Structure 1
Amino acid sequence: MKTVLTALLALFCAAIFAAPVAAQDTMPPAPYAYQQLDDPALEEAARVLMETLRCLKCQSQSIADSDAPMAGDMRHQVRSRIQAGETPDEVRDWLVERYGDYVSYDPQVSATTWPLFVVPLLLVLFGGLMFWRRVGRKGESA
């Protein structure tokens, strides 16, 4: 009797946790995920922006190239906001605010990203200093 109740409880828990996952797979894509805007100029602005935004699921593809559902939702957001009159920079700022700096292939210098720009420069300067000291010492002893 105890094993039957345990099995039923496990089956019930599996059904509860699996239902939301299955529901997400059956949802239709957002309207502008795969449909272009009617205005060619607005579509071009959206396409250029989408190529500079990273798919958070794929991580190596832009949202323009990715077939992931999340990339489709992001394409829909980009097209909808551009059609509503926002500039590509405003849309990018909104996406960075929502998903973080990682979403952009073109990171801006900010309080969280400055080390990405400064640390490589410091490493090159440190390497140059070490090289200069080694070469300079060899030249002095000759």
Structure 2
Amino acid sequence: MRFLLACATILLLAAQAQASELTVKVTKVESAEGGVYVALYGLEDGFPSRPCRWCQRVPAQPGTVAVLFPHLPPGRYAVSVYHDVNGNGRLDTNRFGVPTEPYGFSLDARGSFGPPSFEDASFTVADQPLALEINLVSNPPAPEPEPEPNF
């Protein structure tokens, strides 16, 4: 029994020794309103639409905010972020599904007519600490409909 316990302890310590940490720096935060949500997805996690395995919210502050994800096992990951300006806990979109709050993805990846793929936004975490910088982008507000002329 002691032998099994010793083996399990060694395996646990070896797994922790191989874990690394990821620092995500979110730039271009425009205001101190609301919070910044950072979601980290592994290869099998359904990036970016399913609930994330590793999620953090930090208070917004103009400029840059940083989030640390410690003890990550080596592998492929992708990150999505958004600035929840109004504090309602979700990324607001217009009637066409286009975000109306600032957002971004790892590697500053962009999708066409939707979010980028996991492959376009993914990066590798090895056994060394890694830092990523993600620039928030804002979509221009939708134009107001032109008034109909009165003839």
**Is TM-score (shorter-chain normalized) higher than 0.5?**
no
RCO higher in 1 or 2 (8 Å CA, sep ≥ 6)? Answer: 2
Higher-Rg member (1/2): 1
What is the TM-score of this pair, normalised by structure 2? 0.27
What is the TM-score of this pair, normalised by structure 1? 0.28
